[in-house]
C-alpha cells in the first residue's frame, strides 16, 4: 500500500544512508527533495534569478612598445643591458583591444548554460562581468546592460556576490580519460544513461 496525500501518491522517502541510496532516483529527484525541504523550512518558495545582458562590449586600452628592431641574442650582461636600454627608449603607443562585442543573452532560472569559445575569446570576462567580479579599471571600458530579475547590476553591486556565484575554470587536465570517457562520465554524473 502506498502513502497518499490529497489523492496523489507520495514519492518514497530518500534515504541518507550512503551516496548510492541518496542518488538512487537520480540527481533531479535529489534536487527536488532538497528544494522541497528548504521551501518547507523557509515557509516560501526558493528565489529564482534571471540574468539578462544586452549589447555587452568590453574593451581595454593596452600600452604597446615597438620592439621590431630587437634581435634575439645570447643572454650576456652587455646584451641584457642593451635590451633594457632599448626597452626604455622604444616608442610606446596605446592600442584598444576588443574583448567582447555586442554580446546579448538570457540565463533562465533552473537551466545550465554552456559557454564555448576559443582561448582568448572573452568567455571568462563575460562570466566575471555577469557575476560582478570583473575588475574596474580606468583603462577598461564596459558598455551594455546587465540585469538580474529586471534590476540593474549597479543597483545590486554590493549584494551581487550573495545572489550570483562564479567558479573560475581549472586548467589542470588529467589525460587519463579519452574524450568519449570524459563525456560519458559527465553524462552519468548528470543522471543520464548512455546508449552504446
C-alpha cell at 15: 534515504
Sign of CA dihedral 144, 150, 154, 160: negative
What kind and span of H or E run contains 21? helix 19-22
Mind listing the pLDDT tens digit for each residue in 88-102?
A: 777 777 888 999 999
What's the pTM?
A: 0.61
Model confidence at 183, in pLDDT bands (50, 70, 90)? confident
Question: How does DSSP classify residue 10?
Answer: P
Model confidence at 87, in pLDDT bands (50, 70, 90)? confident
Determine the 3-state secondary structure of 81 from DSSP.
helix
Mind listing the pLDDT tens digit for each residue in 102-125?
A: 999 999 987 878 888 888 889 999
Place of cell 554580446: 103
Q: What is the pLDDT of residue 112?
A: 79
Model confidence at 193, in pLDDT bands (50, 70, 90)? low
Q: Mean pLDDT for the chain?
A: 80
Mind listing the pLDDT tens digit for each residue in 130-151?
A: 988 888 888 899 999 999 999 9
Which residues contact residue 190 at a Cβ distance below 8 angstroms, ignoring those fewer than 6 apart? 27
Are 74 and 138 a contacting pair, CB within 8 Å? no
Model confidence at 8, in pLDDT bands (50, 70, 90)? low
Q: What is the pLDDT of residue 15?
A: 63
C-alpha cell at 88: 626604455
C-alpha cell at 77: 650582461
Amino acid at each position: 500500500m502506498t502513502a497518499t496525500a490529497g489523492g496523489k501518491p507520495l514519492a518514497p522517502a530518500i534515504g541518507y544512508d550512503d551516496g548510492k541510496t541518496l542518488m538512487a532516483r537520480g540527481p533531479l529527484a535529489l534536487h527536488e527533495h532538497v528544494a522541497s525541504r528548504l521551501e518547507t523550512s523557509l515557509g516560501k518558495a526558493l528565489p529564482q534569478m534571471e540574468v539578462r545582458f544586452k549589447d555587452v562590449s568590453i574593451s581595454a586600452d593596452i600600452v604597446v612598445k615597438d620592439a621590431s628592431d630587437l634581435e634575439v641574442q645570447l643572454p650576456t650582461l652587455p646584451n641584457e643591458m642593451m635590451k633594457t636600454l632599448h626597452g626604455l627608449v622604444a616608442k610606446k603607443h596605446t592600442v584598444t583591444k576588443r574583448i567582447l562585442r555586442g554580446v546579448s543573452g538570457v540565463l533562465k532560472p533552473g537551466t545550465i548554460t554552456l559557454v564555448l569559445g576559443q582561448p582568448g575569446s572573452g568567455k571568462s570576462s563575460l562570466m566575471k562581468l555577469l557575476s560582478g567580479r570583473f575588475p574596474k579599471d580606468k583603462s577598461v571600458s564596459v558598455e551594455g546592460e546587465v540585469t538580474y530579475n529586471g534590476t540593474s547590476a549597479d543597483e545590486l553591486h554590493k549584494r551581487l556576490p550573495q545572489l550570483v556565484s562564479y567558479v573560475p575554470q581549472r586548467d589542470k587536465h588529467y589525460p587519463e580519460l579519452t574524450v568519449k570517457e570524459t563525456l560519458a562520465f559527465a553524462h552519468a554524473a548528470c543522471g543520464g544513461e548512455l546508449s552504446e
